[in-house]
Structures are given as C-alpha cells and as structure tokens.
Amino acid sequence: MTNLPNFEFETKLHKQGYQNVAGVDEVGRGPLAGPVYAAAVILGPGKIPMGLNDSKKLSAKNRSSVLESILEYADVSIASASEREIEQINILQASHLAMVRAVAGLKKKPDYVLVDGNLIPQDLGIPTTAMIKGDARSLSIAAASIVAKVKRDLVMSDLAQHYPGYGWEKNAGYPTTEHLKALQDLGVTPHHRRTFKPVHNILYQV
C-alpha cells in the first residue's frame, strides 16, 4: 500500500492553537531556464480536496483536475523569483525568496508554516517546520507542490511558443538531451540561467 500525505501535522498544530497553517513548496530549482516558482496553501480541516498527493506522483491531467479543487476550497498564493534573481542570489536563495513571497500573498496571514525541504527560508517571520519529503507527508505541502508545478509548467509552455526548439513544453527547462542540444545549436535565450554550468560554458567558451 502506498503511503499518502495526510493531515496529521496540521491537525496537531490546530490543537496547539494555530489556526492558519500554510503548506509551502517550490518547483524549478533544477532547470536551466525559466523562473523558480513557489506556492503557499492553507487548507481548512473540513475542506480538503480529493486526490491530493505529491505532484511528482500525479499525471499532468490529474494535477490540473486537483488544482481546480484546491483553488475552490483553499487559500492559495503563487509567487516566483526570476532568472536574473536566480543569477544574483543563487538558486537556493531564489527559491526561498519565492516561498517568502508566496506566504506574504496569502489572504489569511498564516500563524504557522510547513515547508518542504530541510531548510527554513529566512525572513518568513512565522513559526516554521521544515519537512524532508514534505510533499509526500503533508496534505498542505502536497497541495502547494501541485499549484507550483502546474503554474510553472504553464509558464514554460508559453515561453516555448516564443522560443521554439528547446522543448520547454515537454522538459519545462530541465537539462534533457533535446534541451542541451538546442543550447548548442540555437544558443542561449534571455530566459536561460547564465550561472548554471551548461549555459555558462556556452556563453564563455573560447
């Protein structure tokens, strides 16, 4: 039997007096192109959408279907950090910046945050627990992972129309064989992350 994310962490926090518990996750740390996105989601105890799971374990069709329910039932905020911000402050700090922006964009101010990963973003200013593989353990984080993944995939599909040949509609900017070959053949676009090694090597090859 496959273990699914649950609401135990959120329930414990609710019993401790925390009312608005936000799950936070990011997507897009590994790609060579495009922004990094983060989402923050506050689920109500009696309004949990069906089908929530780690976004990586759902098909694109299922993610889109579950997203509709998340947007209907939950308080949701999406934010990003740009390619230039990634270059300036590095991808880890940029992903944390996107997370902080996502939390700040929630309609309800969360009083506790559950964040995917092993590091807590600075500047949150809210009690926070970092959860390794949190998207497979917490329903709130799973919801955030779905929101961020669908949003970023849509953005990369849109960019693919403007920069054909890199396969972003399929690889979302990750360094697939097709993408790496296109980098060599077509060159670097404004949406590539210039500090990432494959891009940097092309820009500064002798």
- Round to whole Å and give the CA distance between 135 and 117: 9
- Round to whole Å and give the CA distance between 32 and 189: 11
Residue in this structure with the two tokens 């676009």, named with its chain if needed: 189
pLDDT at 1 over 50: no
What's the mean pLDDT when you consider all of the chain? 94
- The β-bridge relationship of strands 36-42 and 21-27 is antiparallel
- Round to whole Å and give the CA distance between 119 and 198: 26
pLDDT at 23 over 50: yes
Q: What domains are defined for the chain?
A: 8-161 (3.30.420.10)
Among 61-65, 74-78, 117-121, which is the least confidently predicted range?
61-65
Characterise 203 by phi-psi region: left (phi > 0), alpha (psi -120 to 50), beta (else).
alpha
- Round to whole Å and give the CA distance between 6 and 8: 6
Sign for the CA dihedral angle at 103, 151, 181, 185 comes to negative
Strand stretches in the chain, DSSP E: 21-27, 36-42, 75-81, 112-116, 128-131
pLDDT number for residue 141: 97
Distances (CA, A) of 100 to 14, 54, 87, 165: 22, 21, 18, 34
pLDDT digits (tens, 9 = 90+) for 112-126: 999 999 999 998 999
pLDDT at 206 over 70: no
Contact between residue 147 and residue 43 where contact means Cβ atoms under 8 Å apart: no
- Give me the phi and psi of 63, to 5 degrees please: -60, -45
Please tell me whether the overall predicted TM-score, pTM, comes out greater than 0.85 for this model.
Answer: yes
3-state SS string over 151-182?
HHHHHHHHHHHHCCCCCHHHHCCCCCHHHHHH
pLDDT digits (tens, 9 = 90+) for 90-112: 999 999 999 999 999 999 999 99
Q: Which two tokens stand for residue 95?
A: 């992903």
Confidence class of residue 2 from pLDDT cuts 50, 70 and 90? low
